[in-house]
Structure 1
């Protein structure tokens, strides 16, 4: 049942109004403006009937004071007065009155005006509730849009991270944009790296907590803290808004999306670094092989020249000496054939070594080609697209 507050110093008028209204409304009475102002915050009336001519505060002063009270700023006020001039009515409207009823008043007119303003008051309260709900929904939508925009921006920026330190700085900046204080662990082949949004590295105790709670469990909640775990990345948020359930839920929705991207980028950075180390080691090995091959080739060529020279000298000497050994022609020819056959075998062995040298040279050439291709792939994978990099620096707005 709607509540009506009657503020009038005339007890007879109070009783008359109460008799007319109490059948349909809950009626409260105040004999002065000061008393009415004391009652109004307690009963929170739906409508106020206010006499103008009263000792102490008059009706205009009371109405102006009512409009300064938050719970009564929009409560309909009907002025009651024996004065009904245009000037009096205008003054009533100026201080916030909604209607003016001259004394003596007609019963039907009073009931009609009260009914109309009560309905108006109820409708206005309903509209205000709808407006408050719509405003809350709009604020929630804008907050969600802001957080999602920051998340997408982080993912785009992470594409261009050159190392774990830069990726960590981007992730902690994202947390700062969401007013979150956090500590971060990034695991690589070289071991874990720790970071903090309030200092360069996480405190020793934070490092222990990050390592201890890093598991297959996605969320680990304790007090106002929440740790979000991925294989390569773990984030410890130290000031989760537990008292704001809506924002708490949004943050828990956003963080896995962001950390999933950071986790994937960490694996890429780790692989790129390992590939770079491997490429450097392979390059050093190729240089060593190339140097050894050149040394071997030079030694082989010198040996080949020495063998050829020695064999030529041997055959010439044998041809000369055989004439003085008293051998017949067949014996001389047999000896020379054996020597030439041996020389031919030596030449075949030398030719085989030349072929082996060519094979080694081909292998070296192939290794150089593989290294060059690996280097090209690595450079291209680390290369930033200038257009995308420029766009990623812009704020993202979602509507």
Structure 2
């Protein structure tokens, strides 16, 4: 191998010259001096060794060399991935059209005839380097655009899975359906794992095959108090108040996808946690409503019994007073009293009877109010509950004698 390099200048493009004539190396070195770093080889074998040590930006090679010819070397380089796109300029003493066609057919990019002009070689070399640098940049941009497009398409697919999963979670009517929706979503992400829902009175833990294994349950139980998102190798655990998700096969060779999946799975878990809490709250609210409804029914029944008892008591009192008045009147007829004494006793008795009747008259008003309370309670216990939704009616009003709604004198 010849050593005609003008020096180590890493910032300059590297050109490999393959030629068995030392004189040619001197001319090429002079033509490219100050613009390229030159690496020299005397034959095809030396060229292969040089390329293995440092990959050149451009290759200039003679067509006729001892051993492997330039055309055969060019074909071999084009079959190698490392040099498949490296620009190659042939140097040849043959200027026939058939020779040029052979060079281009072997994979050459340009053809310079010996003896050559150093200015021409310099111009062709620099233009070739500039063109291929632009081509590499274009390819790099295209590859980046393709990669970005593929990533965007992949992300759109993942977002579609996430939205479908959240939709299924939001429409789930029970806890097991929520767990199944989460499992379906992670399966659509091409992942495997288990989800656990912690709800009052039970824990629901499922994996992609049904009920979770004891190992999965134990892992979730041991790690439930760790950070909200905890990754260990290819495993990932996401924990919320009522929901935990364990993933067992993260694509560790694709960090970008792992980052997206962490975000998607966290949103999936948060949606499941919110839905679980909503169902728990709805069930607790229904239970409280049922308790209140039963209490209202019991109060209504008790007040009805009190109402009936008080009305019966009033009727009995009225009858007793009437009977007493009649008996006293008959008794006075059989007693020898002066007119003044009879008038006095009659006045005393009448005053007492009137007092009793006045008291019962006041109780009659209260009784009618109690009847209205019973009617409102019955309405409150019914399906439509008009008593609870009527204007100005609150729970304390049902037991207040000052309630405007209790001024109706009609019995129930």
Short-chain TM bin: 0.7 to 0.9
**Structure 2 CA distance, aligned partners of 1:372 and 1:269?**
27
Q: CA deviation at 1:16?
A: 3.3
Judged with a 3 Å threshold, the aligned counterparts in structure 2 of structure 1 residues 351 and 134 are, in CA distance, closer, same or farther, namely: closer
Superposition pairs for residues 88-99 of structure 1, below 5 Å? 88-99=99-110
**Structure 2 CA distance, aligned partners of 1:82 and 1:323?**
168
**Equivalent of residue 236 in structure 1, options 206, 224, 246:** 246
Q: CA deviation at 1:88?
A: 4.1
**Structure 2 CA distance, aligned partners of 1:373 and 1:99?**
98
Partner of 1:389: none
Matched, 1:222 2:232: yes
Judged with a 3 Å threshold, the aligned counterparts in structure 2 of structure 1 residues 153 and 95 are, in CA distance, closer, same or farther, namely: farther
**Equivalent of residue 68 in structure 1, options 54, 79, 93:** 79
Q: CA deviation at 1:99?
A: 0.9
Partner of 1:84: 95
Q: CA deviation at 1:272?
A: 1.6
**Equivalent of residue 371 in structure 2, options 357, 360, 369:** 357
Deviation string for 1:304-352 (max 9, x for gaps)?
4444444434433443344234455233453454345435434544553
Deviation string for 1:341-391 (max 9, x for gaps)?
43543454455344333334334545658957999xxxxxxxxxxxxxxxx
Judged with a 3 Å threshold, the aligned counterparts in structure 2 of structure 1 residues 53 and 123 are, in CA distance, closer, same or farther, namely: same
Deviation string for 1:80-106 (max 9, x for gaps)?
444433344345434432112234444
CA-atom RMSD in angstroms: 4.0
SS of the residue 2:237 aligns to? strand
Q: How many residues align?
A: 369
SS of the residue 1:283 aligns to? helix
Q: Is the 8 A contact 2:307 2:370 kept in 1?
A: no
**Structure 1 CA distance, aligned partners of 2:123 and 2:370?**
116
Gaps of 5+ in 1: 376-399
**Structure 1 CA distance, aligned partners of 2:175 and 2:388?**
22
Judged with a 3 Å threshold, the aligned counterparts in structure 2 of structure 1 residues 117 and 138 are, in CA distance, closer, same or farther, namely: same
Q: CA deviation at 1:211?
A: 3.6
Gaps of 5+ in 2: 1-11, 390-412
Superposition pairs for residues 304-319 of structure 1, below 5 Å? 304-319=314-329
Superposition pairs for residues 1-399 of structure 1, below 5 Å? 1-6=12-17, 11-12=20-21, 15-22=22-29, 24-29=36-41, 31-32=43-44, 40-52=51-63, 59-144=70-155, 146-148=157-159, 150-151=161-162, 154-155=165-166, 158-188=169-199, 190-191=200-201, 193-215=203-225, 217-328=227-338, 329-330=342-343, 331-346=345-360, 348-349=362-363, 351-366=365-380
Judged with a 3 Å threshold, the aligned counterparts in structure 2 of structure 1 residues 111 and 355 are, in CA distance, closer, same or farther, namely: closer
Normalization by structure 2: what TM-score?
A: 0.71
SS of the residue 1:210 aligns to? helix
Larger Rg: 2
**Structure 1 CA distance, aligned partners of 2:315 and 2:99?**
132
Q: CA deviation at 1:48?
A: 2.7
Normalization by structure 1: what TM-score?
A: 0.73
Judged with a 3 Å threshold, the aligned counterparts in structure 2 of structure 1 residues 216 and 54 are, in CA distance, closer, same or farther, namely: closer
**Structure 2 CA distance, aligned partners of 1:351 and 1:337?**
22
Q: Is the 8 A contact 2:191 2:248 kept in 1?
A: yes
SS of the residue 1:287 aligns to? helix
Judged with a 3 Å threshold, the aligned counterparts in structure 2 of structure 1 residues 125 and 107 are, in CA distance, closer, same or farther, namely: same
Q: Is the 8 A contact 1:161 1:167 kept in 2?
A: yes
Greater than 6 Å deviation, 4+ residue runs: 54-57, 372-375
Q: Is the 8 A contact 2:43 2:66 kept in 1?
A: no
